[in-house]
Amino acid sequence: MSRTLLVKEEAQPIVPLSDLINIGVSIEWNDQGCKMRHAGRILPIYLDEGCPVIGLTEGLDLMRQVEEFHERRARLRMAVMRVAGGEELPADHDLEEVAPRLIERIPGKVRWDPALVPMNRRLRKRIQKAKTVIIHLSYSGTETSPWDTHGEDNMLILNIEIKRGMDMHNDHLFGFLEQLCQSGRVRGVYAGPPCRTVSLLRFQQEEGGPRPFKSRDGIHRFGLPWLTALEQAEADGDTILWLKTLQLMTVALEESFECAVALEQPEDPARWKEDDPELHGGWGYPSFMSWTETRQFAERFGLEFVHFDQKVLGHIRKKPTTMLTNMVTLRELQGRRDTTPDPPICQTGRVGNADPDDQRGPGSPPKI
């Protein structure tokens, strides 16, 4: 599991440089030799016949961190196996096909570098002192003032916002968040991951939408065959953010089933729109909420899919929405719909949260 080779004879421990990079060690070669940095400090190494060498105590500590990295990746793979419904992945399982590109990018750094976590010392101290932490993954939303001004004593709402430099693709930031969830102080994780690559607007090109990125089922839910390298990278990025969100919520719920979670997406078009192969080209309407990984995650923790229209909450458009949650207050929205006509759609070609008029950005949670 930890990919450490054990031998009977006495031998000098060796740690592959590629594994050191996995745990956040930066390596620089120049005319003077080799320099390594880790967790904000320079490692005391020297060269022996061109090979970097470090003292036994520190070397074994690095090896332990490497083993922890591989153990966490193995646990993640086992979790995917459980999601697949058995102890072993079927040979044709979708995630098995894309594992090298996607699965290994989900977990954060075991030994995250504080210098690479975009939080100042003041914020980190507030997090340490808080008895209760709520993690709000706003991704690309711009309106965070209701979260920033909650005013509750001993409670901190941590806004993870890309405009503040907090990118969930940052392995050090995500490792920090995973560790925070393991502390037992996280009592809520709220998220609305980007839906731009599964937006229904991609099947409405005559109305100004861009071309589709994903199918509904099968291997092509990770990217249709005609995507360019740049488009595939965007599709992979959103897939990673979705799986990272499920992973973070899993860590929080495993620590405490009392943790409140709310995961928002546009409602699966297959629930409210007539199937139209001419529209989607036979690929089906894509939706993260229809994924096997999502449904197995919901079943494992007893979460409910809550379907409603945001117009009943004051939005200008109907915006069919789904929240995957264990929160009683959100469950009260189940089935609430609005039948009044929507205003005309502005022809902008923008792909956001299935609504080109919505200025809150793709993936933002609804204003509840």
The string of DSSP letters for 16-43 reads -HHHHHHTT-EEEEETTEEEEEETTEE-
Residue 320 is part of a domain; what is its CATH number? 3.40.50
The reply to whether 157 and 106 lie within a common domain is no
Per-residue pLDDT at 243: 92
Per-residue pLDDT at 325: 97
Structure tokens at 122: 């003041």
CA distance 237 to 234: 5
Inside any domain, residue 355: no
Inside any domain, residue 367: no
The reply to whether 68 and 197 lie within a common domain is no
In the 8-state DSSP scheme, what is residue 332? T
Per-residue pLDDT at 352: 44
The reply to whether 178 and 320 lie within a common domain is yes
Inside any domain, residue 342: no
CA distance 147 to 157: 6
Per-residue pLDDT at 362: 34
The reply to whether 247 and 231 lie within a common domain is yes
Inside any domain, residue 360: no
Mean pLDDT by 10 residues, the chain (368 residues): 65 81 80 82 87 89 82 59 45 54 80 87 87 86 58 80 83 91 91 91 72 89 90 92 93 90 94 84 91 91 95 89 95 90 64 39 36
Q: Which stretches within 183-268 are classed as H helix?
A: 229-255
The whole domain housing 165 covers: 120-331
Inside any domain, residue 74: yes
The reply to whether 125 and 93 lie within a common domain is no
The reply to whether 32 and 172 lie within a common domain is no
Per-residue pLDDT at 85: 42
The reply to whether 228 and 112 lie within a common domain is no
| Residue with the two structure tokens 């090109």 | 205
Inside any domain, residue 338: no
Per-residue pLDDT at 82: 47
The reply to whether 153 and 232 lie within a common domain is yes
Residue 52, phi then psi, degrees to nearest 5? -65, 135
The reply to whether 202 and 106 lie within a common domain is no
The reply to whether 15 and 162 lie within a common domain is no
The reply to whether 206 and 128 lie within a common domain is yes
Per-residue pLDDT at 244: 93
Per-residue pLDDT at 228: 92
The one-letter amino acid code at 210 reads: P
Task: For Cα atoms 161, 238, 245, give the angle at the middle one, nearest 5 degrees.
Answer: 60
Number of domains in the chain: 2
